[in-house]
Amino acid sequence: MPDTSRLFFALWPDDKTRKTLSRLTQSVSAQTLKWVKPYNFHVTLVFLGSVDKDTEALIKLAAADINAQPFTLTFDALNYWSKPKVLCLTCRQPAPEPAVMLASQLRAAAENLGLHTDERPYTPHITLARHVRHLPQTVIEPVTWQAEAFCLVESCSEPEGVFYKVIQQWPFIKPGANPGQYL
């Protein structure tokens, strides 16, 4: 049986955004849920699932060919998703075109390698808590996320729980820059 890793493409927050998200979770009054650890905050672009090392190498090569522009996401809605029982932040406005294009390109790259991906339209979200039973009645301040790179991330299971490890990061191209010139 080949050695596999559970992988996904994501946006990874800078320290300022991570601290803002952490403060937001501390302001929400809710019981019987499991908060996501601040070091695990991210915005999933495409979930890849269990991937063997050869396919991982190919997905890294495919990702290196993707050119994306920086964009901003404003997370301004707190939502409860009943089927996965999660509390998450979402954007009231549709995702900006560069975000949708990036997710689409990453999905196509994965599918070209035979990986099955989510067919639903891309919806940026940040999972804040799991094992949630209802939406807490809380007013939140919007969280602005400046996306300047995307990452390949591994989901690692440990006795203490799951943690996410960035495997590789690809910076976005500055508007007006040459394709080989990165941030």
Closest CA to 154 of 142, 176, 141, 169: 169
What gap in Å lies between CA 98 and CA 170, rounded to an integer? 15
Coil, strand or helix: which one is 90? strand
Catalytic, 125? Answer yes
What gap in Å lies between CA 57 and CA 52, rounded to an integer? 9
Query: Which residue in 42, 116, 131, 134 is the catalytic one?
Result: 42
What gap in Å lies between CA 3 and CA 16, rounded to an integer? 36
Query: Which residue in 116, 125, 131, 134 is the catalytic one?
Result: 125
Two structure tokens written together for 56: 């991982």
Task: List active site positions.
Answer: 42, 125
